[in-house]
Homo-oligomer: A and B are copies of this chain.
């Protein structure tokens, strides 16, 4: 399988990406070839320095870079030779089977939605995050920002996509799915939550356990937690800030360390036809290794194929 990597994305590119590739190759993964997009003049010397074997990579030169703060749509349009644009072009045309970047998040999202197709049957692709639970384990929270306005049928599909991801990637046999809400009883909530509950309840593709409240999100009540992308994005960013707060207050605590989302590598876009993984701007080599391994697992585990089956 061929996994594409944007070598120019992230604050420490391309050096940390190359270091990550070195570590990844050191672990074996012989069936994987890495397709690198980026400025060849910058990347080549690093590949030599880290003795990356020529037969494990394909280099695609990209003369432009999309900056971290550029407007996504405008940048993709005005920079067809950027490392992100070239990566999506390779993904769309079969040059690679997955694409990873720690670069401009918005450009990665726009690219995912417009360069490659949504999976058959998917109304809205989604992005998720891992919420660490205080009693060990963690929950998959989705959507966390791709869909600020949602309809019940969107949330119902997020529940299915989250379930498939939790099974195949996180290794949870029978993921408990919950709807994030303002009360536990059926009938509680805003219009969206009230209309979503019966869909989840009757959905045979998931194991729905009912509503959970804000206090349950960090308490291992569910493996897949579904909400609209407005709520999810605010929850994710508040959770992220807890790590910073714990650090600022010099609390050396394992649990709050788990809110360091750099630990998790990257976030996959779920519901698009091929794996696209978006990393944090501050990704270091370990994050790149984790992202490449996640892409490999998504491909090898036939995540997309299973999603299509479960969504149909």
Contacts and interface: CB of A to CB of B under 8 A. Distances in A.
A218 B235 contact: no
Interface string A262-282: 000000000000000000000
A234 B180 contact: yes
Contacts of A149: 190-191
B238 A245 contact: no
B214 A134 contact: no
A101 B227 CA distance: 33
A91 to B, nearest CB: 26
Contacts of A215: 237-238, 240-241, 244
A217 B238 contact: yes
A238 B240 contact: no
Interface stretch (A18-26, A201-209, A248-256): A248-256
Contacts of A134: 245, 248-249
Contacts of A242: 218, 242
Contacts of A238: 214-215, 217-218, 235, 238
Contact of A148 (B182, B213, B230, B233): B182
B229 A214 contact: no
Contacts of A255: 245, 249
A215 B219 CA distance: 20
A152 to B, nearest CB: 14
A27 to B, nearest CB: 34
A295 interface: no
A143 to B, nearest CB: 11
Interface string A186-225: 0001110100000000000000000001111111000000
A236 interface: yes
Contacts of A193: 148, 230
Interface of A: 134, 145, 148-149, 180-182, 189-191, 193, 213-219, 227-231, 233-242, 244-245, 248-249, 251, 253, 255
